Amino acid sequence: MDLFGDLPEPERSPRPAAGSGGPLLFDDLPPASSGDSGSLAPSISQMVKNEGKGAKRKTSEEEKNGSEELVEKKVCKASSVIFGLKGYVAERKGEREEMQDAHVILNDITEECRPPSSLITRVSYFAVFDGHGGIRASKFAAQNLHQNLIRKFPKGDVISVEKTVKRCLLDTFKHTDEEFLKQASSQKPAWKDGSTATCVLAVDNILYIANLGDSRAILCRYNEESQKHAALSLSKEHNPTQYEERMRIQKAGGNVRDGRVLGVLEVSRSIGDGQYKRCGVTSVPDIRRCQLTPNDRFILLACDGLFKVFTPEEAVNFILSCLEDEKIQTREGKSAVDARYEAACNRLANKAVQRGSADNVTVMVVRIGH
C-alpha cells in the first residue's frame, strides 16, 4: 500500500476500491456526489472572461508509469497555465455568545515559501477553523499554522514535490498542536479550547487538502457530459461515531457515548483539546490531493454551522445562483466578479442563520480563474 499514492484522473476515470488493509492516511478523493448537483449552465464562464482551457493535466498513464521524479518534471512542464485563486469570506456569530471561528486567506505565498523554482511557481493557502470551548485554539491555529507551514515548506531540490509537501503538512499540524498544548497547559487553570481545521494548500494546479474534525471543503466542478455542476467533497469528516475513529479512541482507553468522546467532545481529531488527547483524539490530519481542471469553478470551505442547514449540493447551487445574479451592484474599485463572489459569501452565511443554524457560520469561497 502506497502511503503517498497519486489520485486517479479527476474525471471519467474508474476509481480504485479501498484496500482491505485499512484506511489510507492520504486517501483518494471520492467521486462527485451521486447525481449532479445543479442544472445551471456554465454562463459563469462568460462572466469571468479570462477563463480559458489552456491547462494540461497528467494522464493516468503518467501517474502509473515511470519514476516519481520524471512524473514531477512532466507535470511542471505541462502545467504552463496556472489557474488563479482568490478567496472571499463572510462570517456570522449566529446565536452564539462568542465568535469562535477563524479563517485565513493567502492568495499567493510563493515568495514567502521560497519553493524550488524549477518545480513550483505558485503557492496559495486557505483555511477555516471552528473553535470550541473558547476562541484561543482556533485563533492560535489561524495565526500560527501557516507560519509553521512556510518555515517547513520544502526548500532546494526534492525528488518528489508531492511526498515532501504532504510530509510538510503532517509536521506542520503536529508542531502547531504541540505549540498550543504547551501554551495551554502552562496556564492556571489550563486552557481547554480546541478547534477543527480545514486547509487547502495550492501548489501550482494541485490542491492538498488537510483537515481535522467536521469543517469541510467542497469543489464545484462542471460536468460537460451532463452540462451540470457537481459538488465534489475534498475533505473527510472526523467524528467519534465512525468505526476507525471509535476504534482508535477505544484502543487509547477512551470511549464514545452519545456520539461524543467521553460523552462530551463532538469531533475525534482537533488542534488543542489537551484533556482528550490521551483518549485517542489526534491532530494527525487526513490529506487529500486534487488536480484542478478547466471545468473547476470554485472551492467552498465552511464550518459545520453551514452544513447543519445546507447540503453541499445546496450550498454550491446557492453560490452559483448568486454568481449569475446580474442585479448585484458593483462597488467603486471592485470588479463585477469580486462583487458577486462577496455577495455569494454574505448571502449564504445569512441564509444559514435564517434557516436556524445556531452555531457560528463561516463561509469561504475561493474563485478559480482560468
Query: Which residues touch 46 (CB under 8 Å, ≥6 apart)?
Result: none
pLDDT at 3: 40
Query: Which residues touch 151 (CB under 8 Å, ≥6 apart)?
Result: none
pLDDT at 49: 35
Query: Each residue's pLDDT tens digit in the chain (370 positions)?
Result: 344 444 444 444 443 333 333 334 455 554 443 334 343 333 333 333 333 333 333 333 333 333 333 233 333 344 479 999 999 999 999 888 899 999 999 999 999 998 876 778 999 999 999 999 999 999 999 999 999 999 999 887 788 889 999 999 999 999 999 999 999 999 999 999 999 999 999 999 999 999 999 999 999 999 999 999 999 999 999 999 999 999 999 999 999 999 999 999 999 999 999 999 999 999 999 999 999 999 999 999 999 999 999 999 999 999 999 999 989 988 878 899 999 999 999 999 999 999 999 999 999 999 999 8
Residue 262 is which amino acid?
L
Domain with residue 177: its CATH number is 3.60.40.10
Asked if the structure places residue 219 within a domain, the reply is yes
- Write down the residue that cell numbers 489550563 correspond to: 190
Interatomic CA distance for residues 106 and 322, integer angstroms: 24
- How many domains are contained in the chain? 1
Q: Is 129 helix (H, G, I), strand (E, B) or coil?
A: strand
The verdict on whether omega for the bond into residue 189 sits within 30 degrees of 0, i.e. cis, is yes
Interatomic CA distance for residues 307 and 303, integer angstroms: 7
Query: Residue 97's domain spans which residues?
Result: 77-369
Asked if the structure places residue 21 within a domain, the reply is no
Asked if residue 1 lies in contact with residue 17, where contact means CB atoms within 8 angstroms, the answer is: no
Asked if residue 169 lies in contact with residue 101, where contact means CB atoms within 8 angstroms, the answer is: no
Q: How do residues 68-121 score in pLDDT, each as one tens digit?
A: 332 333 333 444 799 999 999 999 998 888 999 999 999 999 999 988 767 789
pLDDT at 332: 79
Q: Quick check: pTM over 0.75?
A: yes
Interatomic CA distance for residues 320 and 322, integer angstroms: 5
pLDDT at 29: 55
Asked if the structure places residue 289 within a domain, the reply is yes
pLDDT at 340: 97
Asked if the structure places residue 49 within a domain, the reply is no
Asked if the structure places residue 39 within a domain, the reply is no
Asked if residue 91 lies in contact with residue 52, where contact means CB atoms within 8 angstroms, the answer is: no
pLDDT at 160: 87
Q: Is 73 helix (H, G, I), strand (E, B) or coil?
A: helix
What is the DSSP code string of 230-270? Answer: EEEE-S----TTSHHHHHHHHHTT--EETTEETTTBS-SB-
Burial letters for 227-247: b for 16+ Cβ neighbours within 10 Å, e otherwise?
ebbbbbbbbbbbbbeeeebbe
Asked if the structure places residue 110 within a domain, the reply is yes
Asked if the structure places residue 157 within a domain, the reply is yes
Asked if the structure places residue 360 within a domain, the reply is yes
pLDDT at 28: 52
For residue 319, give the C-alpha cell. 453560490
